[in-house]
Amino acid sequence: MMNNTKKMLITGGAGCLGSNLIERYLPIGYEILVVDNFATSSEKVLPKDERLTIIEGSVADKDLMDQIFNDFQPSYVIHSAASYKDPDDWSADVMTNVLGMVNIVKAAKRNIPKQIINFQTALCYGKPLHVPIKIDHPLSPFTSYGISKTAGELYLEKSGLPYVSLRLANICGPRLSIGPIPTFYKRLISGQDCFCTNAVRDFIDMTDFLDLMDKILYNDLSKGTYNVSTGIGYSISDVFNAVANFLGKNDAKAPVIQVGDDDVETVVLDPAETEAIFNWKARVSFEKMIENQLNWYEKYGVKEVYSHLEMRG
């Protein structure tokens, strides 16, 4: 059996982030176990490899998580699983985002890994008091997704386990299926109308995110919660124009409307502490990131697009 220092458990491993992490770490010798309920993903995206074990199930299943930790004994746990696709289904969000974290922490206390890396939503800050949002900004989530993910993060922080929790900007890369980029791409190539909210967001390329993950894994830094971002905001109209220009639809228009009550107008994270602690900085420009993302869609297409927001338009 492979030494457990090369064992990695990825919850939600068939999602955008999880599947990219598998492609990063499987070829360099990690033995990886994925647990995913495939609610917003597909097992088809995962490679066939003897070092990859795929279990269909939920982190909300205590017996399953206990068994995984007892049998697999991961040295690294990457908690990427999240429930968000129905903003009115608070029960589903609590089961995955809160109870799922409780199950992971309790199982990990019996089989302590070198590190737990948690992926957190920037919606933990709610409607920010200042922008860019510093890591010590008060937590004030107000949606089911934001509240439940924040409860899970706080439980992890108080667990006494070695952890890093990453509050993420919009990470763009292969298999991205949430947010304005796949939405605009899919609608524009189908000749459908689009609209933009007046929101401003920060975006980061997958390659920059994976570079940070390397630094976290290989340096074994201990506890901490960090923002992951370029620190630069772009409007949803900027995104629409970039997608339209890429597709040669320069005359396409998208009216701008106010964000809904379930959304936040401006979310831009301040990554200064992350940059200093990990000697890391995002380097891919917004323009190049958009190009990378759209080239991937041109090759592989876009299927279903998900959202944590109420449907509008």
Angle of CA points 45, 105, 221, to nearest 5° = 80
Q: Which domain holds residue 157?
A: 4-172+203-228
Residue 308 lies in a domain: no
Give the integer Cα–Cα distance in Å for 31 and 36. 17
In residues, how long is the chain?
Answer: 313
The tokens describing 229, both together, are: 């971002």
Residues 41 and 145 placed together within one structural domain of the fold: yes
> In this structure, is the dihedral angle defined by the CA atoms of residues 82, 83, 87 and 93, taken in order, positive or negative?
negative
Query: Which residues, 6 or more positions from 237, have their beta carbon under 8 angstroms from its beta carbon?
Result: 196, 254, 256
Residue 311 lies in a domain: no
Measuring CA to CA, how many Å separate 275 from each of 169, 226, 231, 271, 291? 14, 9, 11, 6, 25
Residue 313 lies in a domain: no
Residue 277 lies in a domain: no
Residues 21 and 139 placed together within one structural domain of the fold: yes
CATH number at residue 237: 3.90.25.10
Residues 33 and 116 placed together within one structural domain of the fold: yes
Closest CA to 180 of 290, 34, 72: 290
The tokens describing 25, both together, are: 């770490």
Residues 157 and 25 placed together within one structural domain of the fold: yes
From first to last of its 313 residues, what are the pLDDT tens digits of the chain? 344 569 999 999 999 999 999 999 999 999 999 999 998 888 989 999 999 999 999 999 999 999 999 999 999 999 999 998 788 899 999 999 999 999 999 999 999 999 999 999 999 999 999 999 999 999 999 999 999 999 999 999 999 999 999 999 999 999 999 999 999 999 999 999 999 999 999 999 999 999 999 999 987 666 899 999 999 999 999 999 999 999 999 999 999 999 998 899 999 999 999 999 999 999 999 999 999 999 999 999 987 776 554 544 4
Residue with tokens 């952890």: 163
Residues 217 and 290 placed together within one structural domain of the fold: no
Residues 69 and 165 placed together within one structural domain of the fold: yes
Query: What residues pair up with 166 in beta bridges, in sequence order?
Result: 119, 226
Q: What is the pTM of this model?
A: 0.94
Contact predicate 26/51, CB 8 Å: yes
The tokens describing 22, both together, are: 């598998």
Q: How many domains does the chain have?
A: 2
First-residue to last-residue Cα distance in the chain: 54
Helix 206-219 to helix 16-25 angle (10° resolution) is 60
